[in-house]
């Protein structure tokens, strides 16, 4: 398993795959850009809202979000993460253990913060993201503007 870097949404613009995705979403068409920007903002808003609801009901933790299969996403509280660290040790999966320990540290640091702790999953990686809606909106607008000028 390859572990993704610890990222914040504001740092995602440096990521090549994000640039590639932005090129596909945004174009020279102002109408198409407005639709794409609003769609991305709505998706991120839904992710943050989902995180906040889970945090309120289950306590501090992280939302594991699978963009390819959103229905298979789940929330893990601090207790769940600690239990999975123990399980990773038992099955001798050191990469997973290290990742979960990093995640636990991030979750504990953000316990009283207002950023959503989201782990994005795909077929090969997991990456930790701290999502702030205001910063995310600025980044989305910057991407749309940059790619509409190219």
Pairing of strands 2-3, 61-65: unpaired
Instruction: Write down the domain spans for the chain.
Output: 2-149
Ranges under pLDDT 70 in the chain = 1-28, 143-144, 146-150
**Residue 67 buriedness (CB in 10 A; 0-12 / 13-18 / 19+):** exposed
Residues ≥6 apart with Cβ < 8 Å to 1? 93, 95, 96, 124, 125, 126
CB atoms within 10 A of CB 97: 18
- pLDDT for residue 12: 37
- pLDDT for residue 10: 27
- pLDDT for residue 27: 62
Per residue in 9-53, pLDDT tens?
323 334 555 566 556 666 667 777 777 778 888 888 888 999 999
């Amino acid at each position: 398993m390859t572990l993704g870097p610890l990222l914040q949404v504001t740092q995602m613009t440096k990521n090549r795959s994000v640039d590639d995705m932005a090129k596909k979403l945004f174009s020279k068409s102002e109408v198409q850009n407005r639709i794409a920007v609003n769609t991305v903002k709505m998706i991120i808003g839904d992710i943050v809202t989902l995180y906040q609801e889970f945090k309120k009901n289950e306590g501090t933790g992280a939302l594991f979000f699978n963009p390819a299969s959103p229905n298979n996403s789940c929330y893990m509280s601090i207790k769940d993460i600690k239990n999975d660290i123990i399980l990773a040790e038992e099955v001798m999966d050191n990469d997973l253990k290290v990742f979960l320990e990093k995640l636990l540290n991030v979750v504990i640091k953000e316990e009283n913060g207002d950023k959503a702790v989201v782990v994005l999953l795909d077929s090969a990686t997991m990456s930790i993201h701290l999502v702030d809606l205001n910063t995310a909106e600025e980044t989305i607008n910057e991407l749309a503007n940059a790619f509409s000028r190219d």
